Amino acid sequence: MLLLPLLTLLTLAACSATYPYVTTIGALKPGSTLSITLDSARVDAYQPIRGQRRNLFTVSATALPRTSPPPPRLFATPLGVNVRAATALASLLVRVPDGVNFVVESERGDVNVTDITGNVRVGARRGNVTIKVPGYAQATVGDGNLSVMMGAATWPGTLDFSTRRGDVELWIVARAAFGVHLHTDNGTLFTDFGLRGVSSGEAETIDGSVNGGSNQRIDVETAAGSIRLLRLQPQP
């Protein structure tokens, strides 16, 4: 799925927390997957910039002050490309090609994914996660808040969202039909989809169907935090 060549640009800015010290550019076909595996860094993912070829991906790494980390390494995978950063970075800026799915596995750091046209899956052990995409997403967070706004009305199977310690806010298009399970061990639940729940001590649960239900589902759970499942209305 990877279209070569890859171009890696090294600069002398490794001691700066302002400018990337390395930028890698490559190409991926629609339907492939760009995955990021990192130890510690803020991740910001967007579409290619205006004027850039829409099949190009860009990964720009910025170092922490007074550090000179090695560049992130790229590996071909059966589905596309995996980018691995084994040392702590200040940030990672990623441009995701049109129609390419995006996966992040992060030990520490906030993850923000905005307006990419592929689907998204994020796993973050510590950090806040924000996803706003026209497709669908899944996310698992350890310690941190999770906010997802997804434009897809259909998706395959069950989409899972969870936090260990943190709030979840999930926006789903109002016309979508799906089964839903919401549960918090210690927190509150709220939805404007007209569903009713039950409580037991500090725990609350909602199980139900939205717009008559279907074979697709959404499962949202948190051990300590509140959950909000909200209608995403079309813009006039």
Which residue type sits at 194?
A: G
> What share of residues in the chain are helix, strand, coil (percent, to 5)?
0, 60, 40
Q: What is the pLDDT of residue 199?
A: 87
The token pair at 219 is 């499962």
Model confidence pLDDT, tens digit, residues 29-86:
999 999 999 999 999 999 999 999 999 999 999 999 999 999 999 999 999 999 999 9
Boundaries of every domain in the chain: 1-108, 119-236
1: confidence class by pLDDT, cuts 50, 70, 90: very low
Q: What is the pLDDT of residue 48?
A: 96
Decide if 169 contacts 151 (C-beta within 8 A): no
Q: Are strands 56-62 and 22-28 parallel, antiparallel or unpaired?
A: antiparallel
Report the percentage of the chain scoring pLDDT > 90.
86
Res 3 pLDDT > 70: no
β-pair partners for 80: 33
Q: What is the pLDDT of residue 201?
A: 87
Res 218 pLDDT > 90: yes
Going across the sheet that includes 189-191, the strands are 2-10, 22-28, 56-62, 91-95, 42-46, 111-114, 129-133, 146-150, 168-173, 227-232, 189-191
β-pair partners for 128: none
Q: What is the pLDDT of residue 236?
A: 60
For 119-123, what is the mean pLDDT?
98
Model confidence pLDDT, tens digit, residues 166-203:
999 999 999 999 999 999 999 999 999 999 889 888 89
2: confidence class by pLDDT, cuts 50, 70, 90: very low
State the Cα–Cα distance between residues 2 and 181, nearest whole angstrom: 38
Q: What is the pLDDT of residue 152?
A: 97
Res 213 pLDDT > 60: yes
Q: What is the pLDDT of residue 12?
A: 45
The token pair at 121 is 């899956």
